[in-house]
Chains A and B, each alone.
Chain A
């Protein structure tokens, strides 16, 4: 794009200025840029040549049947893919223009990203320690500061009222749905710039899900959210844009109005969204 408009800068300086402004605006809108991303586990391809952007302060819904590479994508973004033996990554993932695969300190990178995976994992610590685990590991020490963090994020995860009287009992003794909300609180506790939710509502009752969804809508102003979900309706309710993955490939990504309309660009998207297959 830049190369293409270069000659016009000599001919029409003002037009050029406007255009560069527009391009800059577009670029600064991009929080995550994924270019030609391919991931293989041995011979099995988990993601094939994916290219798309995630914009700043949006909720991007990702839908698609099982085994279509949704969770793998999240693992590439926070570099936990490194841990998996035999995983091979090609292409680039940039956060704010910085390639995550070239980041030296992956722990700092992970502190910028909150992750919630489908199975709730309460760490074998007290509820209080569960929420303060990440800030503590990052070096926060002050007691009042930690107390504040616990209250704020447990409230955001809609768990505060249920556990405020027993913050020092074990996180692993909570019920599945409560543990899931505890996991969400933990993911928020280190104030991530990007929040990746992988089917967060799987163990949570519908009422609480709605409360968390409201929180997510509020968070949108501060955080970029990637919402992987099996519930097409959840993506429809929450997301600004939705991407449809099928068989390790990105079929379509567009604004919700298009994806959930009668005429998305790809027939498969229409079929999936309307429950005709998958």
Chain B
């Protein structure tokens, strides 16, 4: 009511022939609200970035004395109270790479089926719903439960024993649902009319997927997969039960030092051990380990951002 009268009076004061902007009280209130809203949003964004910067800054500050190339390339020595982190670093790389090599093909292909085939057949239509449900629930399962499952299924039942393979399989089971979900999302983001247009000229489903859907969703698919790297690298519980050990020295500088059926060290586990289980560890050591773990993850994420920007610049609509 108030607004209406406001607008009416202002239009009476300024006849249509000479419309110009005037600062009525209404306009002033609107501008003030706009400014306030903008600042609140900016503040929230800064609040979100602040802890991240603080964590990174603090870790670097604490770890500074120990950071060097030698730290990366030597094994821990003297009961892990000195030396570097070569064995755990290589172990983490092994675990992440192998688990993704297992989870990616299964996850991506399953997602293609679920998004491109399943909804169109009466028999499989219900599958998408079940898988969605499963994904939501599996994502909420604590990692320690995955660990117990991995111990039971891979280490004991399948008889693989505590090894890199068993640990990677457990990590793969853990990341699979999320890879399926993110790939499905990426595929679903390709507009439906493109598929219709292809089908209308007689292209088969696979031709449509191969020439239109996959090339236009690959950036989203890759991003989803790469984000799982940080998850696989950071988890401690699932690998602790299934293949990662307290201490194991390997040949320095040899990237093929581990064998699939060996046990290994891992960064996350190493960090846990030296900060809680071993007495008299110099404080820079756990911080250095944390920096390397964080750095690896950030490096991979940065890579994914670059990749995404590159692929998006080639996006075609």
Chain A interface (Cβ < 8 Å from any Cβ of B):
78, 80, 82-83, 85, 107-111, 114-115, 117, 119, 121-125, 133-134, 137-138, 170, 172, 183, 186-187, 189-190
Contact = CB atoms under 8 A, between A and B. Distances in A.
Contact of A134 (B202, B215, B216, B317): B202
In this complex, the member of A108, A115, A117, A121 whose beta carbon has the largest number of chain B beta carbons within 10 angstroms is: A121
B262 interface: no
B201 A110 contact: yes
B201 A186 contact: yes
Contact of B200 (A110, A122, A124, A125): A110
A170 B316 contact: yes
Contacts of B315: 124
* Interface size bracket, B side: 20 to 34
| Secondary structure of the B contact surface, majority rule | helix
A137 B201 CA distance: 9
B120 to A, nearest CB: 6
Interface in B187-242: 193-194, 196-204, 207, 211-212, 215-216
Contact of B203 (A83, A114, A133, A183): A133
Nearest to B201: A134
Given A123-B194, A124-B212, A183-B197, A110 B202 contact: yes
B202 A121 contact: no
Interface of B: 119-120, 125, 193-194, 196-204, 207, 211-212, 215-216, 315-317
A187 to B, nearest CB: 7
Contact of A78 (B197, B200, B212, B216): B200
A262 B212 CA distance: 50
A172 B212 CA distance: 13
Contacts of B198: 123, 133, 137
Contacts of A121: 193-194, 196-197
Given A124-B212, A124-B317, A172-B317, A108 B193 contact: no
Nearest to B199: A80
B67 to A, nearest CB: 46
Contacts of B119: 85
Contacts of A117: 196, 200
Contacts of A78: 200
Contacts of B200: 78, 80, 110, 115, 117, 187
A170 B216 CA distance: 13
A137 B316 contact: no
30 contacts: A82-B120, A109-B202, A110-B199, A110-B200, A111-B201, A115-B201, A117-B200, A119-B193, A121-B193, A123-B194, A124-B194, A124-B315, A124-B316, A125-B211, A125-B212, A133-B201, A133-B203, A134-B201, A134-B202, A134-B203, A137-B201, A137-B202, A137-B203, A137-B207, A138-B202, A170-B317, A186-B197, A186-B201, A187-B201, A189-B201
